[in-house]
């Protein structure tokens, strides 16, 4: 296994040297492509799990009808209950499998990505290394890599799973009541508009946060390396003040992200509930 990973690592380094990749997104997704079979299985299991959840309201309705009708035997409700219990067991098993596959893919991606980043740093020129701060490079191999792990191992498959579930749910709703489906679709443009607007707002804020985090990391690394000089010239207070400024800037950038999220999430929640109210009022 170690030999295979070493071979793959060297092959990737050659790709970086020859600049085979043409875009950052394509380069990032190439890591996921190696585990495409498992990723597809992960998405399929997620879709099945979501569809089973959609079946529960359909089964709970007949149970309520049986319970409020004394003339119907309770055994009918028990039979449906056992079906619901079986569905819950299947959902739990699928959930456990999905967690394992998701974490396994994410761990392998972060392993390969860190190897590649380290190899890339080794082959870069002296001029490039002088232009880039050490803290920024450390930030890329730690914080940025972990963020990519969450995106590729979790958020990406969540997007595909939710998209497929949404399409399936809409098709079922359209078959049951096409007029109601049209009313629900009316809300969709507002949802996509909000997503596009906040996408443009999030990008520069996240970029600034990454840059300020890199400055904090660089400041720590620089101080630790030169701690003897700092103590020799009694500059501890000065260094503390300088670090406090960098840390405060990173804090402010983080608060900016929180403010955007605190605005974005309620709007999405509101639009989602408006669609739900339309279904209740018109359905």
pLDDT of 17 higher than 60:
no
The residues near 183 (Cβ < 8 Å, ≥ 6 apart) are 278, 279, 282
pLDDT on residue 156? 64
Q: Kindly state the average pLDDT of the residues 50-56.
A: 77
What pTM did the predictor assign?
0.59
Q: Kindly state the average pLDDT of the residues 186-201.
A: 81
Lowest-confidence range among 30-44, 84-98, 179-193? Answer: 179-193
pLDDT on residue 272? 74
Assign 132 a pLDDT band (cuts: 50, 70, 90).
low
Compute, in degrees rounded to 10, the torsion defined by CA atoms 242, 247, 249, 253: 170
pLDDT of 273 higher than 70:
yes
Assign 139 a pLDDT band (cuts: 50, 70, 90).
low
Residue 47 CA: distances (Å) to CA of 38, 43, 159, 268? 14, 6, 11, 22
Assign 2 a pLDDT band (cuts: 50, 70, 90).
very low
CA-angle at 219, arms to 148 and 27, nearest 5°: 20
Q: Kindly state the average pLDDT of the residues 128-138.
A: 67
Q: Which residue has the higher pLDDT, 225 or 147?
A: 225
Q: Kindly state the average pLDDT of the residues 155-162.
A: 65
Q: Kindly state the average pLDDT of the residues 44-55.
A: 80
pLDDT on residue 207? 80
Lowest-confidence range among 14-18, 46-50, 222-226? Answer: 14-18
pLDDT on residue 134? 64
pLDDT of 39 higher than 70:
yes
pLDDT on residue 146? 65
pLDDT, the chain, mean: 75
pLDDT on residue 7? 44
């Amino acid at each position: 296994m170690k030999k295979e990973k070493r071979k793959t690592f060297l092959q990737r380094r050659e790709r970086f040297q020859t600049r085979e990749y043409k875009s950052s997104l394509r380069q990032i997704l190439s890591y996921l492509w190696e585990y495409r079979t498992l990723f597809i299985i992960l998405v399929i299991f997620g879709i099945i799990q979501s569809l089973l959840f959609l079946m529960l309201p359909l089964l709970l309705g007949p149970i309520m009808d049986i319970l409020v009708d004394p003339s119907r035997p309770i055994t009918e409700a028990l039979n449906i209950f056992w079906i619901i219990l079986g569905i819950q067991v299947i959902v739990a098993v699928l959930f456990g499998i999905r967690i394992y596959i998701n974490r396994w893919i994410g761990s392998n991606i972060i392993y390969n990505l860190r190897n590649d980043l380290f190899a890339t740093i080794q082959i870069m020129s002296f001029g490039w290394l002088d232009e880039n701060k050490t803290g920024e490079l450390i930030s890329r191999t730690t914080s940025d890599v972990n963020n990519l792990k969450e995106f590729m191992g979790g958020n990406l498959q969540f997007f595909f799973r939710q998209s497929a579930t949404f399409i399936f749910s809409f098709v079922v709703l359209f078959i049951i009541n096409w007029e109601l489906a049209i009313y629900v679709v009316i809300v969709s443009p507002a949802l996509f508009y909000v997503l596009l607007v906040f996408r443009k707002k999030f990008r520069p804020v996240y970029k600034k946060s990454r840059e300020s985090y890199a400055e904090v990391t660089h400041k720590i690394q620089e101080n630790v390396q030169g701690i003897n000089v700092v103590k020799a010239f009694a500059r501890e207070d000065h260094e503390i003040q300088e670090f406090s400024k960098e840390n405060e800037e990173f804090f402010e950038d983080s608060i900016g992200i929180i403010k955007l999220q605190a605005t974005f999430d309620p709007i999405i929640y509101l639009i989602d509930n408006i669609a739900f109210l339309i279904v209740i009022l018109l359905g």
